Amino acid sequence: MLALTGKQKRHLRGIGQRLDVAASVGKGGLSEAFLDSLRRLLARHELIKIRLPAGPGTWRRSVAGEIAESVGCACAGVVGRTALLYRPNADLEDRQRIHFPAGPGE
């Protein structure tokens, strides 16, 4: 699974505020069809927002982590019932890719 620094997660969450929900975990749960649709979305967009089912916060975070592991991406954060998933894609055009700000000394 991809590891992100705190600064990178914060940057992605800022971008994610402007995104619409791309997928929702439904009654079928984490079916292979749902995971395949997430893989296709992550192939077109580096950052997607998904809606999680209702449940305790720790459970939602563990579900988001399970989803991220299953599709080979990183979970940038879970707020309420919304999770942000990020997977870099070198095949996208430069203007479509997410660029992280340079930190001090970089």
The pLDDT tens digits for 62-98 are 999 999 999 999 999 999 999 999 999 988 888 889 9
Domain ranges of the chain: 6-87
pLDDT at 29: 77
CATH topology of domain 6-87: Translation Initiation Factor IF3 (3.30.110)
Q: What is the pLDDT of residues 16-40, one digit of tens each?
A: 999 999 998 877 778 888 899 999 9
Range 63-102 burial, b when 16+ CB lie within 10 A, else e: bbeebbeebebbbbbbeebbbbbbbeeeeeeeeeeeeeee
